[in-house]
Structure 1
Amino acid sequence: MAAFSPANSFSAFDIEKLVKLAGFYPHDFDFEEINQLRFQLRLCIAGVRNDENFKNLRSPSELSTMIVKRDMVSRYDIVYKLLKLVLVLSVATAGVERIFSATNTIKNKLRSKMGQKFLNNCLAMFIEREFFLQAKDEDIIKYFQAMKERKLSYNL
C-alpha cells in the first residue's frame, strides 16, 4: 500500500513492488496486463505528479477518488485495477485475521471437549454472530424443547 501512497509527491512509489504485487494475482492480471502495468505506472505517476489536483492527497483511497474525478480510469485502467486491489486487500486481510482469531479462540478453549462437527458448528456461530443474534431466545427454547419431546416420544 505504501508504494501507492501519494504523500510527499509519491516518494514511496516503487514500480517493481507494484508489479510484483500484481504478479501474485494471476487470475486478475494476465501476462499482457503485467507487461503493460510498468508502462502505465510510469505514465500515470508522471502525469499525477504534475497535476495540481493530486498535490494534497494523503492516502491511496484519496488517490483512487481523484483518478475517478479526473476521468483517468480508462487511460490507466490496469493501474486503477491494481489500486482497487490494494484498497480491498487491507479489508479482506482484516476479515481473514478475524476468522483465524475466532478459530484459535474456540480451538484452544474447547479443543479437548468437542468433536470436529461440534467445533465447526461453534465456529459458524462465532464468525456469523450478527446473523445468529437475530434469533429470538424464545424461538430457540421452543426448538430445543420440541427436540426433547420428539426424543422422548421415540424412546417410548
Structure 2
Amino acid sequence: MPDLTRVTLTPEHGRAILHAVEGTEARAAVALMFAAGLHGREVVALRLPADYDREAGVLRVRGETPRTIRLAAVCRTALDAVLRIPLSPWGPWRGSVTTRSGTLVRALHRAGLAGDIHAPRHLALRLAWEAHADPLRIAHYFGVDGALPPAGEVCDHGIPAALDQALR
C-alpha cells in the first residue's frame, strides 16, 4: 500500500523552504538536502572543510555510497558562508541526524508545508529526471541503490545546473 501521507514538493516549495531556514549552518544542511539530494546521514557525515573543494565546487560524500559530486551554486554559496564562521562543536552543523532532521522539519512548517525528511531528496531526484538526465547518471549522482560511479569520476551530468535553475 503506498504511503499517502508523503508530500510531493515543487520547486516553489523548495525555494520557500530554503528561504525559511534560519542560521548559516542550518541553511547549508538543508541546501545540501534539497540542491544536492543528500540523505540526512550523508550531511551529518561530512567533514568540513576537508570534504569540500571550494575551488572546484565539488563535495566528497561519505557513507554507504561514497562519491564525489559537483555542487549546485546554491550549495556552494551556503557552504562558503559556513566556512567563513568558526564552527562550534555544539552548533547545528555538528548536531546529530536528529538535530538536522528537526531543522528541516521546522523549515517545512515555517514555509507552511507538511512533509518528511526524505522530501528534499525526492524533489532533487525528480528535478534531475525532469531535466532528462540519464537514469544511470542520476543513480551515480545521488548514490541510488549503491550505484557507484567509476573511480575518480566527479558526478555532474548537468544535474547541479538543473537543480540550481529550479531552486534559485
Q: TM-score, normalised by structure 2?
A: 0.26
Rg comparison, structure with higher value: 1
Return the structure number with greater helix share.
1
Return the structure number with greater strand share.
2
